[in-house]
Each structure stands twice: as C-alpha cells, then as structure tokens.
Structure 1
C-alpha cells in the first residue's frame, strides 16, 4: 500500500481559573473538555485527511499553441541517423509571465516546447536545469519509452526558463565563465578562493545589470507557475508529468502551489527535501565518488582497462598534473577543473562510459580535446543553445537562501576536498558561486500537503546527482509516496531500467500503483 505520512499538531489545552465572586458570576469559559468522575476526557484529535484518489487521465488537450513540425531539426539535435517508423516531433512556444515573486511586472518569457506521441492526453516532462535542455531530453526519452505511452500521451518536453531554446539567461562574461568552469578543484586556500570570488563577482554584477529585476525570476518557484500556465493553455483540468532529478523538485513545488491541478506524476530521482544546500552537496559528493568507483570497476572488469589497474589513481595523478600545467584542447586549455566537471557529466550516463574512458585515456597521454568537448555546452553556445552555465548558476542561487562567506568557504572546501578528493572541491565551489547573489525572497516549500494523490518516486542505487537516500526522503514527505528502487547506476532510471520504466508506464497509462518498495534489478 502507498506510504501515508500522518502529521498531528500538538493540542494545547489552556488552564482556566474560574473565579467565583460572592455576589455575581461571569459567563462560563471552560475549555471544550468533558469530565467523568475525577478523570478529564479529551476529545480525540481529528483524523488527518486521506490522500486524494488517483486522478483520471481526463479529456484530451485542446488544439492550442500552434505546433509546427520540427522532426528533422530535432533528429539532428539528438544525434540519431533514423527515427522509428511514424515518430515525428512538433515544436511550439509558451508565453509566460517573467515576474519574480512579489514583483508587479517584469515582462514575459517565451518557453520552448516539444511534443512527441500520437496520444491526445498531455504528459509533461521536466528535466534537470543542469542537464540537456528539456526538449532534447524528452526527444531522447521518447525513443526508449513503451509504445503504450506514446499511443496514450502527447509527451511534451519543456526547456526550463533561461535554458535551451527558451528566452536565454545569458549574462556571464566569457572570461568569468572560463574561470568558474576551469577553476582548481583542489583549491582550499583563502587567496585561491578569492580569485574564484572575483570571477563570481564579475558574473553576478553583469547579470544583475543586464537582467535587472528579471534576474531573480529564473527559479523553481516560477517554473512551477510556467507549468500551471501550460496546463491552462492545454485546456486540461490536471497536469500529468514526469520529473527527472532536480526537475522533480519543480513538480513537488507545483504540487504544493496547485494541489487541485495535480494529475498522475512520477519522480525519477529527486533532491532531498530534508537537507539544506550544504547537506545536499555533501551527500552528492559522496555519491559521485561511489559512482566513479562503479565506473572504475566496470573498466577493470573486462579487457585491459586503458586507465590501468587503478583508474582512480590514474585520474587523481592526471588532475594533480594539470593543476599546474593545463592540457591542450580544441580552443581553450583543459584545466584540472575542466577534467573533474567532464567526469561528473560523463558519470551520469553509463551507456557512454566507454567514451569517458577514451577521453580520460587521451588526456593521460596529453590530449584534452575530448574532455574539453564534454564541457563545451557549459561555456559556448549559439542562438538556439546558449551557454549552459549561466542558467544553472542563476537557478541554483535563486533556489537557496544559503550564502557562504569567504572564511566559511575555506572551511567547507577543505572538508570536502579531504573527504571526497575527486569531486568535493568542485561541488564546494558551487556553494561559493552563490555568495554574492541576492538572497531569494522565499525558500522552496517542503512537500507537506496531506491530500495529494499517490506519486511513485524512482530511486537509482548509485546516482551522482540525486542520491537514492534523498529520493527516499522525498517519498517519505509526500502524502502517498511510493518508492521504486532501481539497483542501477547513473542519473535517472526511466528509459534505462526496463522494470522501472514499465512500472512508471503502468501507473501513468493504467493507474496501476507500483507495490511499495518495489525493487528493480540492475
């Protein structure tokens, strides 16, 4: 049965002095309790509301938004030679309000959309802000979904505000972007971290000048509002959706803000709602190290591993060498920071680990070109795909109230580099990147509505971005969170685990609830 979390508030029974005067008596102010003999009888607390029933799929979407065919453009973008017979893609844009919470008006924003599938029921996919744009992710996911999902739903991917083909939040000076991405991953001295802060200061000032009041409108809170505007434009009573990784936090925020609009939702990995940004960073660093160990074990399990019998030692030596002498690459030099970020990106998809092995092997022999290409989307862009770093940093800083002063930054960097030598420094720097950004007006809500419908939360045993334990905590906080555990590796299970994908499809299409604590083999 689904997990149901009960929360009962404390019942306060005030003690009332009844003062009886000899000549008069005031009105009774007794508390609402009854007495039998000498024992006080307290009325039982009301039972918490039951979770909402599973919503029906509902009516089809209205023919709105002016969809236009974009099949060939999308095929080239996702890098496939042919598409399954009958598969096509359509693209559109949604006009939404850009105003940050509390502001009167800051204009509008165009959100890029992609749809695929022959069904008539909308199913929206929300990807991580730190991943590929949502439209491209949805197109790739559609290639791996069961036919019944494509026949039932019109699957709609959305580029998060500020990213992909949506109106971009591109404001970092190129030099600051290069410094932030390539910064020394093992820097722990105050003087070194101050150089990072100089680049962060330059980037923050440039963004605040260029974006003005819009700068704080790129966040999860407003992205949830984008989803509600999309639901209204589609003309459907409830939003059915899939959230991947940090995109699940968008859906959790949506559920808190618009509980009556919640349809069937699946969270494929989710950030831990019980931890602050520092706590989540430490857990992510630990899981990233574990994922690298799985990557190294796979490399050494088969034929001769190009990284030698101890890939971790090989990579650590490579990082240490390039701290002083960057590698040549295609364009920019490939620094130690570039290498670590490339590894972290590569670990998210085990299907491409062979490419990561080749890139690290080439770097160990003095050529950083392949690793440089892996992080290029963070640094460089074009009219259709802006540099990814800007929207990632802006959204992350708008989503947390944590601001790390310089001296505390030294302590955090030292702790994480010592505990997690490969990834601790880079992840600590993400906290420092928000130091000079305005503090948001509100914290993101923690899931707490006791009357939401059941929501399956899929966890991946070794996930370098959203650790499994944090996803379990998200399921615990939902009114009826159902945990489906995939004993696999990488970021996200849908489309990679047949078991997890079929459980999600059965729930979304047929309303079949997965059994609590379903375990899917690796």
Structure 2
C-alpha cells in the first residue's frame, strides 16, 4: 500500500507558506493575553536602564604583598614629585590557555602610587611601554585630588614588562619586522616580511608553548577581575588609554557586576573590522603629522618650511641607504616607527624634530634611540614588539591572504604616503598566526554605569572619529572631545583631566558632547 505522507505534505505546503508569509518579521503590535475570557494588552519588555554611577567604596583590604620600589621607579622616570612613593607586587592569576582551560598560572606585575587607598587601575596600550611604567608616569601628571583619593595601580599586561614577558622573537626577525620597507607594495617584497613573521611565530611557539595563545585581551580581562578580588573591593575603577579601552569594555562585558567608574581615554573604533581600524590609524597618523609639521614651522624648527617633504625624502633615501646608528642601522621603517612614537606625546615634538633634522644630515642616533624600545630590552623589560605582535594577533580572527595584503599596501601607500605602508604591514603580521577561538565581544551592555569616552582630534594611533563611534555604540557612553594632539588626553589636557577627575572622585558625569580646547 503506497504511503501518502508526501501527498499530505504537498497539500499542506501552500497553507504553511501562507501562514509563514503572514507571520514573517517581528510584530509591532503589543502582545495580547487572555484572563477570564477577556483580552489584556501585555506591555512590551523594557530594556534595562543604565546603572547609576557606582560609589567609590571603602579603602581596599588587599592580600597582595607590596614592597617599596620608589628608587627603582625613580631610575626609570627620573625626578618624582615630592612625597610620591611607589610599591610593587605580583598577582597570580589563572593562565587559562586554550589547551588547558582554567588551569595554569599567569604572574602579573603591579605597581602602586598615591595615598587614597581606593584603587584606580591605569592601563595603557599593549604595544607601548609596560603598564607599570605607564601608570607610574601618569601618576606624576595627575592632580593631587586624584592621588589623594586613589591608589594609582598599574599592571603589566600578559607577555609584556615583567608579566611573564614574551621575549621570543629572534633579534634578526625583530629588526626585519620593525625596519621593513615602509613603501613596499609588491607581493615578492611582502613575502619577505611574511617569512620574518613566520620565523618569529615559530620561535615564540617553541618558547611559550601553550602560553602563546593565552596572551590576549579576553584572558587579561579575567586578570582584572582577579586583581579586584585580591584588592578586596566590590567594584573596579579604571582608566584605559587607547587600545586598553578595548580591555576595559571586554572586562565590562564579562564581569558587569564588577564595573566601577571607568574612563576610556581614546578607543579603537568598534564599528570597523581589523582592516578598517588599521586603515583609520594610518589616516590619523597622517593627520597628526600635518599638525606636527604646522607646529614645527610656526616655531621655526630645524625641519625648514616644508617638514613633510623633508621627511618624505628622508624615508625614501633610507629605504636604500640606512643611517649608521648605535644598535642597528636606521632604515625607512625605523624612521616611520620613531615618528609614530614621537608624535604620541606633544611634549616630545621638539625632540622628534631635532632627531629628524639630525637624520637628514646623516646622523641616525637620535631616531634610533626613540625607536629602540621596540627592538631592544629596556632594563628588565623586554622589547615592546613581542607582546604587541602576540596579543594583537591573538585578538583578531582576521587573516589576510598575501595577495590582499599587497593590494592594501599599494592603496594605502598612495593614500597615506608616510604611514600607510607600515599600517598595511600589520595585516601581514598575523598571516601565519593561529586563529583565536572567538572574537572579542562588542561593547553593547545597556545596564552599565555611565562611561566617559574621550576622543582626541589628532592622535597618531587612533582616529578621533573611532572614539566617537565607541561612545555612540556603548549604550551608556558619554563623549568628551579634546581638540588637542597626542595619544591620550588625561594628564595632558587640563580641561579633560578636570572632567575625568570630577567623574572619578565625585561621580559627576560630564556633559555628553563636551569639547575641550587644544
């Protein structure tokens, strides 16, 4: 006897299609319920309201073993404000490598300054100076009311500084990556960079083994939660500069109940993918250089009436003929990297101009000194490149094919002649790197407290519009704009520093869209 299932299904199909068509898409009508035979409109669920500004909380009662390190810090920074002392400690956190979830130990270096006893964690870019050095330096620039209210706490992020440092890239590959031709665009040339990165990744895998993929922002967020617990405070207050803002938004998504008063001092653009973010960095660096050049001319600096032409010619010459300098020769790539570092702090612009002028006369020593931290150890701290390379590649799932890298390089070198090539090369860095299991979460929680987000008009590492987008995408973001130049406004702009201080100390939320002069 034949089965009739298919004929019944065929008969029902038109009816099902009609029903599906009628019910496709979300209904805009309120939900209806029946009670005792009567219809009742059920109110639509309301999204969570933003949390109020959290209280500061009581002073910490931490279990960390702090030891005085003032003299050591003085050796790094030079003169310190009278009465400012520093102490150092080490946090033991869970490594949580992909091969051994929730196992292993990560040893995190910490520093503390101030006399307020309420912790305020300060975090900087993973590709910059170690977090403890950054926090100590910022502590000397913060107003007394912040230092009297808070203990400023810095943390070397995983694989940087003294937090299980990643010192695994061979020196030859390190020099090749940092000094790579900033105007290379053809596939053959970029393949040489890819080979250097491949050798670097192989050596790091041999040296770090399972730790390699545990150095990322996702797991560093859990270090912050472990730090909060060890400090004995109900919520964590923090400032994150630049790329570290993404660490704080990841922390907020993972541990929303632990979020205190957070300030994002510049932030990567959450609306753009990895390629778009790096492209915007090249655009912002060009824009910041133009501001530097105009400032240079107005001061009568040694770069003459057209600093861009002088520097462009310098880069072109050093592509073929590097300048002799202590350590390793200064080629076009090192010139560009030194400029990115020098542009990050407006206070160093005169020194950057002098270094570029000296290089134009054949002396590369000053540019070599500016870019040295990328490739050479600085005291007990390893070169900055290693931690930057590992963390940035562990944080993105994007892997750009070689042909696409060549296309990006050609496009960006034409559009961003000083910095486009170096930006495109960052896309090559991760080509041979293991792909992480998941991307970082987007900052979308609506139930967090207000979070000020500061954008800087001329930041060589972050396009100001990207920070604007971060404030817009975060349901509780509050935008402040600084019309100045450099990487980071807190501690540099009196207007921004005062607004951030009032928020952190008093809980006063800045006016959304507030603008501070340059």
Q: Same fold (TM over 0.5)?
A: yes
Distance 2:349 2:63 in 1: 41
1:346 equivalenced with 2:342 (yes/no) = yes
Equivalent position to 1:427, from 423, 428, 435: 423
Match of 1:365 among 349, 354, 361: 361
- Hey, which bits of structure 1, 4+ residues long, moved more than 4 A? 14-17, 40-44
The structure carrying a bigger helix percent of its residues is 2
**Offset from partner CA, 1:485-520 (integer Å, 9 cap, x none):** 111001000010001000000000000111111111
Aligned to 1:66: 65
1:144 lines up with 2:124 in the alignment: no
Secondary structure of the 1:124 match is strand
2:209 is matched with which residue: 212, 221, 232?
A: 212
Match of 1:399 in 2: 395
Distance, in Å, in 1 between the alignment partners of 2:212 and 2:40 is: 57
The equivalent of 1:178 in structure 2 is 175
Counterpart check, 1:163 vs 2:160: yes
User: What is the number of equivalent residue pairs in this alignment?
Assistant: 489
What TM-score, normalized by structure 2, do the two folds share? Answer: 0.92
**Alpha-carbon distance in structure 2 between the residues aligned to 1:391 and 1:32:** 53
| Aligned: 1:85 with 2:82 | yes
Taking the aligned partners of 1:106 and 1:306, their CA distance within structure 2 comes to 56
Contact 2:246 / 2:267 at 8 angstroms: preserved in 1?
A: yes
**In structure 1, distance between residues paired with 2:85 and 2:292:** 35
Relative distance call for 1:70 and 1:46 in structure 2 (3 A) is same
CA contact (8 A) 1:164 1:386 kept: yes
- In structure 2, how many angstroms separate the alpha carbons of the residues matched to 1:117 and 1:374? 29
1:43 shift after superposition: 4.7
Query: Does the alignment pair 1:417 with 2:416?
Result: no
Q: Is the 8 A contact 2:123 2:134 kept in 1?
A: no
Check if 1:270 corresponds to 2:253: no
How many Å apart are 1:130 and its aligned residue? 1.3
Q: How far apart, in 2, do the equivalents of 1:42 and 1:415 lie? A: 57
* CA pair 433-370 structure 1, distance change in 2 beyond 3 A: same
Which residue, out of 478, 484, 492, partners 1:488?
484
Say if 2:62 and 2:230, in contact at 8 Å, map to a contact too: no
In the TM superposition, what is the alpha-carbon distance from 1:464 to its structure 2 partner?
A: 1.1
| Structure 1 residue 33, shift from structure 2 partner | 3.1
**Is 1:194–2:191 an aligned residue pair?**
yes
CA RMSD of aligned residues (A): 1.8
SS in 1 for 2:337: helix
Kindly indicate whether the alpha-carbon contact (under 8 Å) linking 1:350 and 1:490 is maintained by their aligned counterparts in 2.
Answer: yes
Q: Distance in 2 between matches of 1:167 and 1:334?
A: 30
For residue 309 of structure 2, what is the aligned residue in structure 1? 313
TM-score, length of structure 1 as denominator length: 0.91
Task: Note if contact 1:101-1:222 (Cα within 8 Å) is conserved in structure 2.
Answer: no
For residues 43 and 319 of structure 2, what CA distance do their matches in structure 1 show?
65
Post-superposition shift, 1:144?
1.4
Structure 1 Cα separation of the partners of residues 42 and 343 of structure 2: 56
Could you tell me which runs of 5 or more consecutive residues in structure 2 were left unpaired when the two chains were aligned: 1-17, 22-29
- Within 1, Cα distance between the matches of 2:365 and 2:147? 38
1:96 is the counterpart of 2:79: no
